[in-house]
Homo-oligomer: A and B are copies of this chain.
Amino acid sequence: MSISGLPVLNDILLAHKRISPYIHHSPVMTSSGINEMLGAEFYFKCENLQKVGAFKFRGATNAVLSLTPEELRHGVGTHSSGNHAAALALAARNAGVPAYIVMPSTAPAIKKAAVASYGGIITYCEPTQAARESTMDRIQKETGCTFIHPYNRFEIIAGQGTAALELLDSCPQLDAVMAPVGGGGLLSGTAIAAKSINPDISVWAGEPANADDAFRSMQFGSIQPALPSNTIADGLLTSLGTLTYEAIRSHVDCIMLCPESFILEAMKLIWERMKIIIEPSSAVPLGALMANPGLGWKGKKIGIILSGGNCKLELA
């Protein structure tokens, strides 16, 4: 563990070894159509094809497998209604221990069903942050479970960094890697891995213009809270944490903002051209590039982490 509480490359390598038997080593896909259209060479790391449909399974698995036997025995918990909750539920089930998930009673049925299908033990609470935290506190006291924060945790950041590790292993020629930023777990792990492997590589982030707290945090030089916002990229609404703020400040070259219309355009482009399903949050990096053609990326080899594929589908 490094002094600042952030993982270093070796921690990410160890995490990769630890989680390898459980994760999909997701494919890297290319599209000559998209390359021609946008004038760069893209390498898409398909974490939408990861188990549970998101990179979150990497960090959650690493966090669970890093517990002591005594901790592990009492299980894990989190308050989340998104991919982290489902990922933690499956990671815990794989380890044979309970996962206690606190969800607001107002969470969409599809998310409740996902967590339940992976064996998560759900407790519903009022849809406020205070209710989530007090409910989680009570369950921790009752069960002795370990709270696993969705992004501001050493083992989570190390686990998320393993996606970039695999990407750079397949594509060492990249000029830049790019990830979306919400709470910053994926971006932090990506940045630490990429800059450690290749100090000359650029690390960029895409953030919804309508939820630009990470961008503002870098501008102001301190963590800015996420404001109530309206974006289709519902995985990117949270503020940075103390650890992820530090990692991004130290290792990320540029956060590019993506207007809503470009999120949709990039998502459509990937669905149509690559025949894979990505959730809106995953489209934010490509959309941010499309919205910012002057930011020096044309003609470059760019790795993009497609973070997840969980969206509601409406088929006739």
- Which residues on A are within 8 Å of B, measured CB to CB? 27, 29, 32, 48-49, 51, 53, 264, 267-268, 271-272, 274-278, 309, 313, 315-316
Contact = CB atoms under 8 A, between A and B. Distances in A.
Number of copies: 2
21 contacts: A27-B27, A29-B49, A32-B51, A48-B275, A49-B274, A49-B275, A49-B276, A53-B275, A264-B315, A264-B316, A267-B315, A268-B315, A271-B277, A271-B313, A271-B315, A272-B313, A275-B277, A275-B309, A276-B276, A276-B277, A277-B277
A67 B48 CA distance: 41
Nearest to A54: B275
A179 to B, nearest CB: 18
Contacts of A315: 264, 267-268, 271
Given A32-B51, A276-B277, 16 more contacts: A27-B27, A29-B49, A48-B275, A49-B275, A49-B276, A53-B275, A264-B316, A268-B315, A271-B315, A272-B313, A275-B276, A275-B277, A275-B278, A275-B309, A276-B276, A277-B277
A51 B48 CA distance: 20
Nearest to A32: B51
Contacts of A313: 268, 271-272
Contacts of A275: 48-49, 53, 276-278, 309
Nearest to A51: B32
A227 to B, nearest CB: 24
Most interface-central of A53, A268, A276 (chain B CB within 10 A): A276
Contacts of A48: 275
A27 B25 CA distance: 12
Contacts of A264: 315-316
Contacts of A271: 277, 313, 315
Contacts of A309: 275
Contacts of A274: 49
Contacts of A272: 313
Nearest to A272: B313
A308 to B, nearest CB: 9
Contacts of A268: 313, 315
Nearest to A316: B264
Nearest to A310: B275
Contacts of A29: 49
A269 to B, nearest CB: 10
Most interface-central of A272, A278, A309 (chain B CB within 10 A): A272
A94 to B, nearest CB: 11
